[in-house]
C-alpha cells in the first residue's frame, strides 16, 4: 500500500510558501502522493493553483485533489483548460483528480451555482473535460497524460458508483475509517465487474493526523473548526478519529492495508513543515 501525505490547507496556515516547502519535503522523504483539499467558504487554498506550485517544486511525487468540488467550476471549458495545463506542468501520470459533488450549501451560494442541480452540472463538466483531452478539441493544451489525468470519485451514492465505473479509475474516501472502506468497497467492486471493467478499482483513503507535543491541540483547532458547521457532535467525532500518536499511525497503516486499500493519505493539520519529517520517521521513509 502506498502512503501519501496531504497539505494542511484547512488548518490555520498563513504563508503559502509553507505549502511549497511541504511539497518539496514530501517528495524528498518518499511519499507516494501529495494531496490538497477543497472548500470555498474557508481558507483552504485553491487546489489546482496549489498543485501547480507543487508541480514546479517537485518532479516525481503524484499530485492529488482530495477532493475537488467539481460543480463549483461553472465554466467547464475553462476548468478543462486548467486541468490539461496542470497535467502538462506536472508531466505524464503525476496528476490524479479526486472529484466530488460537494455537500455544503454555503460553497454554492458564494459561487452563484445551483446546489440542487450540482449532480447534473458535475456530469456536464466531466463530458467537457473528456472532450478537452481528445485530439482536435479547440480547448488546449492537450494533456501530457494520454487520455488525461486519472479520475477518482468521492462519495457513496449510486451516482458515485456510476461515475467511477464509467469514467474513473477508482474511489477516494475522505476522513475515512476502516469500516467506511469495508462498507463501500464490495459494492464498488461488484459494480466495476458488472460494467465489464478489467482489473479492480483503485481504493484511496485519507485520514487526519498531527504529531509531536502539540498534536492534540493542532487537531482540535484545525479539525474542530473545519467541521464546526455540522455541530459539536460531528466536530468531536472528527477529532476523535484523527491520529496523533506514532502507534496509532502504524496500526492504521496495517489495518487499511489489510482490507485492500491501494493508498492511504495522511492529511496534515499542523502547518509546520516538520510534520512531514515526523510522519516519515514514524512510517520508515
How far apart CA 144 and CA 243 sit, in angstroms, is 36
- Non-local (6+) Cβ contacts of 217 within 8 A are none
How far apart CA 21 and CA 276 sit, in angstroms, is 10
pLDDT at 235: 86
pLDDT tens-digit readout, 237-251: 899 999 999 999 999
The percentage of the chain sitting over the pLDDT mark of 90, rounded to a whole number, equals 94
Greater confidence, 73 or 225? 73
pLDDT tens-digit readout, 60-104: 999 999 999 999 999 999 999 999 999 999 999 999 999 999 999
Query: With bands split at pLDDT 50, 70 and 90, how would you rate the model's confidence at 234?
Result: confident
Q: What are the backbone angles phi and psi of residue 137, rounded to the nearest 5°?
A: -70, 140
Q: Mind listing the domains of the chain with CATH numbers?
A: 2-283 (3.20.20.30)
Residue 10: which of 241, 227, 265 has the closest Cα?
227
Asked if residues 275 and 244 have their Cβ atoms less than 8 Å apart, the reply is no
pLDDT at 228: 81
What is the number of other CB atoms lying within 10 angstroms of the CB of residue 195?
12
How far apart CA 236 and CA 231 sit, in angstroms, is 9
Greater confidence, 226 or 270? 270
Average pLDDT score over residue span 146-164: 97
DSSP H or E run through 127: helix 118-132
pLDDT at 43: 92
pLDDT at 190: 97
Helices (H) and strands (E) in the chain, counts: 11, 8
Full DSSP string of 157-174: SHHHHHHHHHH-SEEEET
Whole-structure pTM value: 0.97
pLDDT tens-digit readout, 107-142: 999 999 999 999 999 999 999 999 999 999 999 899
Q: What DSSP designation does 199 have?
A: S
Q: What are the backbone angles phi and psi of residue 267, rounded to the nearest 5°?
A: -85, 125
Longest dimension (CA), the chain: 55
Asked if residues 47 and 36 have their Cβ atoms less than 8 Å apart, the reply is yes
Amino acid at each position: 500500500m502506498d502512503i501519501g501525505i496531504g497539505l494542511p490547507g484547512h488548518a490555520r496556515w498563513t504563508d503559502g510558501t509553507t505549502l511549497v516547502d511541504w511539497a518539496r519535503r514530501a517528495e524528498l522523504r518518499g511519499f507516494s502522493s501529495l494531496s490538497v483539499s477543497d472548500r470555498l467558504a474557508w481558507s483552504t487554498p485553491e487546489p489546482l493553483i496549489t498543485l501547480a506550485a507543487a508541480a514546479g517544486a517537485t518532479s516525481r511525487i503524484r499530485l492529488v485533489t482530495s477532493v475537488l468540488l467539481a460543480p463549483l467550476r461553472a465554466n467547464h471549458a475553462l476548468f478543462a483548460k486548467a486541468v490539461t495545463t496542470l497535467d502538462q506542468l506536472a508531466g505524464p501520470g503525476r496528476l490524479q483528480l479526486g472529484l466530488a459533488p460537494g455537500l455544503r450549501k454555503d460553497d454554492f451560494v458564494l459561487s452563484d451555482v445551483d446546489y440542487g442541480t450540482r449532480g447534473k452540472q458535475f456530469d456536464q463538466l466531466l463530458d467537457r473535460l473528456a472532450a478537452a483531452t481528445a485530439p482536435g478539441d479547440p480547448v488546449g493544451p492537450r494533456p501530457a497524460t494520454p487520455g488525461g489525468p486519472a479520475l477518482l470519485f468521492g462519495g457513496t451514492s449510486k451516482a458515485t458508483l456510476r461515475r467511477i465505473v464509467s469514467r474513473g479509475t477508482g474511489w477516494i474516501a475522505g476522513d475515512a475509517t476502516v469500516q467506511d472502506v469495508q462498507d463501500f468497497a464490495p459494492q464498488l467492486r461488484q459494480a466495476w465487474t458488472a460494467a465489464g471493467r478489467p482489473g479492480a478499482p483503485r481504493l484511496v483513503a485519507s485520514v487526519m493526523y498531527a504529531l509531536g507535543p502539540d498534536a492534540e491541540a493542532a487537531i482540535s483547532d484545525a479539525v474542530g473548526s473545519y467541521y464546526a458547521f455540522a455541530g459539536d457532535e460531528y466536530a468531536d467525532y472528527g477529532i476523535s478519529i484523527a491520529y496523533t500518536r506514532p502507534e496509532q499511525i502504524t496500526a492504521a497503516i496495517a489495518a487499511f492495508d489489510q482490507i485492500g486499500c491501494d493508498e492511504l493519505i495522511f492529511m496534515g493539520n499542523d502547518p509546520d513543515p516538520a510534520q512531514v519529517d515526523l510522519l516519515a520517521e514514524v512510517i520508515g521513509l
